[in-house]
Amino acid sequence: MSQPTLADLRRYAVARSLFAPCSLAAAIKRLGFVQADPIRAPARAQDLTLRLRVKDYRAGDLERRYAKLAVEEDCLVNYGFLPREHLKLMHPRVAKRAWDAKTQAHAQALLSFVSAHGPCHPREIQAHFDLGSTRNAWGGSSSATTHLLDGMHYRGLLRVQRREAGQRIYAAVEHAEDERSPQAKADALLHLVLAKYAPLPSRSLGQLCSLLSYGAPHLGVEIKRALKQAPQTLPNAEVDGIRWFWPEGENPGARKWQLDDDLRLLAPFDPIVWDRLRFELFWNWAYRFEAYTPPAKRKLGYYALPMLWRGTVIGWGNLSVENGRLVADLGYVNGKAPSDAGFRNAQESELQKMALFLGAEAP
Domain boundary among 172, 199, 226: 172
**pLDDT tens, 64-116?**
999 999 999 999 999 999 999 999 999 989 998 899 999 999 999 999 999 99
Q: How many domains does the chain have?
A: 2
80 close to 46: Cβ distance less than 8 angstroms:
yes
Residue 241 belongs to some domain of the structure: no
Q: Minimal CA–CA distance to 186: which of 196, 194, 175, 197?
A: 194
Q: Domain of 162?
A: 102-172
Q: Is 92 part of any domain?
A: no
Residue 354 in any domain: the answer is yes
Of the residues 111, 146, 172, which one is the last residue of a structural domain?
A: 172
Looking at residue 2, its pLDDT comes to: 81
Tell me which of 136, 152, 172 is where a domain ends: 172
pLDDT value for 75: 96
At 133, which CATH number?
1.10.10
Residue pair 30/43 in contact (Cβ under 8 Å)? The answer is: no
In this predicted model, what pLDDT tens digit does every residue of 172-217 receive, in sequence order?
Answer: 999 888 899 999 999 999 999 999 999 999 999 999 999 999 999 9
Assess if residue 222 is contained within a domain. Answer: no
How far is Cα 29 from Cα 82, in angstroms, rounded to an integer? 7
Q: Measured between alpha carbons, how far is 145 from 167 in angstroms, rounded to an integer?
A: 14
* Residue 257 lies inside a defined structural domain of this protein: no
CA 352 – CA 358 distance, rounded (Å): 10
